[in-house]
């Protein structure tokens, strides 16, 4: 990862961590949420939460997350999210196509 991507990665991870804590862990402030905590398997995020997470990522980081990219490899941990968004997510769809 280049220095610019690394900075972007760190910012994505920290901003997303804050959002996850605020939206999913507000009743569990002591939950240990590090970069490699599995968001789904640990129960932090459920299937509806994944949809909310995708919307947050698209709004906040101006990236596009097509259905086929909604995988644990891309969104399963804060680290995976950081890598996915830092590399630009998926290419934006053509005008009028979604």
Residue 95 lies in a domain: no
For residue 52, give the H/E element and its range.
helix 47-61
- Is the four-CA dihedral 69, 45, 40, 17 of positive or negative sign? positive
Residue 97 lies in a domain: no
pLDDT band, very low/low/confident/very high, at 96 (cuts 50, 70, 90): very low
pLDDT band, very low/low/confident/very high, at 5 (cuts 50, 70, 90): low
pTM of the model: 0.83
For residue 2, the model assigns a pLDDT of 60
Q: How many CB atoms lie within 10 A of CB 51?
A: 12
Residue 48 lies in a domain: yes
Tens digit of pLDDT for each residue in 31-58?
899 999 999 999 999 999 999 999 999 9
Q: How many domains would you assign to the chain?
A: 1
Choose among 7, 64, 75, 10: nearest CA to 41.
Answer: 75
Full residue range of the structural domain in which residue 34 is found: 3-86
> Which residue carries 């789904």 as its tokens?
40
Residue 45 lies in a domain: yes
Q: What is the CATH number of the domain that holds 74?
A: 1.10.1200.10
């Amino acid at each position: 990862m280049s220095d610019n991507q690394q900075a972007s990665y760190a910012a994505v991870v920290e901003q997303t961590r804050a959002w996850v804590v605020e939206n999913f862990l507000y009743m569990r402030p002591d939950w240990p949420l590090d970069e490699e905590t599995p968001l789904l398997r640990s129960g932090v995020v459920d299937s509806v939460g994944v949809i909310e997470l995708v919307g947050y990522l698209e709004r906040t980081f101006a990236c596009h997350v097509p259905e086929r990219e909604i995988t644990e490899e891309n969104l399963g941990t804060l680290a995976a999210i950081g890598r996915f968004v830092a590399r630009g997510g998926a290419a934006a769809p053509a005008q009028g196509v979604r």
